[in-house]
Chain A
């Protein structure tokens, strides 16, 4: 990698390739560089095919200051030799990085964290440029971007007051980021996690915008904040819906379900299945018929604090597409709230998910005194 070879090594490799004796090769390479030097001193410019161009550049006198003493000194004009590699050589050496291309950056790209790096490089490159003109890309200092960076952290207030009309420094720009975001505003008051948003209608009273000299910067800042708030809102809604789903806040079945006795759900027998639901349809009264005594009721799981006691299985219902337990309860018992008795009787772990074709046992109920 960082190894160095001297002219003798170069001669050796050259001789290997050209099948010359070391002596011949050495003579040629020596002659090559001597002639190059001589021509350079005579002609100022020497072009060698496949290698590049050597040039003598005159540097004019210039004034400078001695770093140690602070005196003004004069640097004498002198000649300087530069070397510009041939395109072929340049491409060959640059092959590992040949895949990269110059990218045009968009306005919004944040370069704050990059500024330090190019500045460090800049020094090195300036030295190189002084010594030789190799890169053809014109050098422009990256420094002009830095003044923008300190603004970034200190403008957290801006998105809250996007439409402030009283502020003289920013007459029209703040509206621009406002426009694309307005459709979201009606949703925002619902979000419990983003309490700062409801302040938006009151924004005309807020005088708290710091004077920001660069309009474009401010604009992008607005956009960023609006995006941030929007994502926070969406995230909040997602979390909310997750917890609502997890604790089943909207599902009344849950309370009964959690108190179930944990017996595994048995698969209903298929042979008794087909005909019975229809029979029960006719028989089904709103009030259950007390067929058996209260004694056997203990065998069955009961709804705690329920008005009815489950005394047996009255029939079965096969789950079909579009069925749910409320529907069945309403059909069989005339009240959708009776679904909890069905759930308890069948010992469903998850009453929301019942496979198609499952035979749901319909409990025989007896009113408590």
Chain B
């Protein structure tokens, strides 16, 4: 399902126009991004947790060329599924 289809689903669920929904989703995403940027985890009950994880630098070897590379440290967004949703998935 792509973004457009999801938006139309959401619009019908909220009873709003698609453009309006799109704008709100964008705003929500930007709020979440802003929070995550400050390394704040976002806990959504019955859905999951968005959090920022720090990955250390590491040496990576290209399997074909055997070339060694130093991969820099980075911050990545992780998502942990809530147990409730997991259970729903594996009924």
Contacts and interface: CB of A to CB of B under 8 A. Distances in A.
Given A2-B39, A48-B29, A92-B37, A7 B44 contact: yes
A102 B72 contact: yes
B42 A5 contact: yes
A49 B1 contact: no
Given A32-B25, A103-B70, A39 B30 contact: no
Contacts of A80: 81, 89
Contacts of A2: 39, 41
A3 to B, nearest CB: 5
Contact of B30 (A38, A42, A50): A50
Given A27-B14, A34-B13, A83-B79, A43 B24 contact: no
A39 B70 CA distance: 40
A46 interface: yes
A105 B72 CA distance: 12
Contacts of A31: 10, 13-14
Given A10-B32, A34-B13, A131 B80 contact: yes
A150 to B, nearest CB: 18
B78 A93 contact: no
Which residue, A51, A54, A97, A137, has most C-beta atoms of chain B within 10 A? A51
Given A18-B27, A132-B78, A35 B13 contact: yes
Interface string A113-133: 010011001100100100110
Interface stretch (A138-146, A223-231, A247-255): A138-146
A46 B77 contact: no
Nearest to A89: B33
A201 to B, nearest CB: 38
Contact of A132 (B1, B45, B57, B79): B79
A207 interface: no
B75 interface: yes
Interface string B52-91: 1101111111110001111111111111110001101110
A47 B10 CA distance: 13
B28 interface: yes
Contacts of B34: 13
B31 interface: yes
Interface residues of B, number: 67
Contact of A104 (B32, B35, B67, B78): B67
Nearest to A125: B55
A7 B1 contact: no
Interface string A1-31: 1111111001001100110000000011101
Interface string A27-71: 111011111111101110111111110101000000000000000
Contacts of B63: 138, 140
B73 A100 contact: yes
A132 B78 CA distance: 8
Interface string B13-51: 110000000101111111111111111111111111010
B72 A48 contact: no
B75 A7 contact: no
Contacts of A215: none
A94 B74 contact: yes
Contacts of B80: 131
Contacts of A39: 1, 5-6, 9
Given A31-B14, A93-B36, A14 B31 contact: yes
A264 B71 CA distance: 67
Given A35-B6, A48-B25, A90-B77, 4 more contacts: A6-B43, A48-B3, A50-B25, A81-B89
10 contacts: A4-B40, A4-B41, A4-B43, A46-B1, A48-B6, A88-B33, A111-B59, A128-B78, A132-B78, A140-B63
Q: 4 tightest A-B contacts by CB?
A: A100-B72, A83-B79, A50-B29, A49-B3
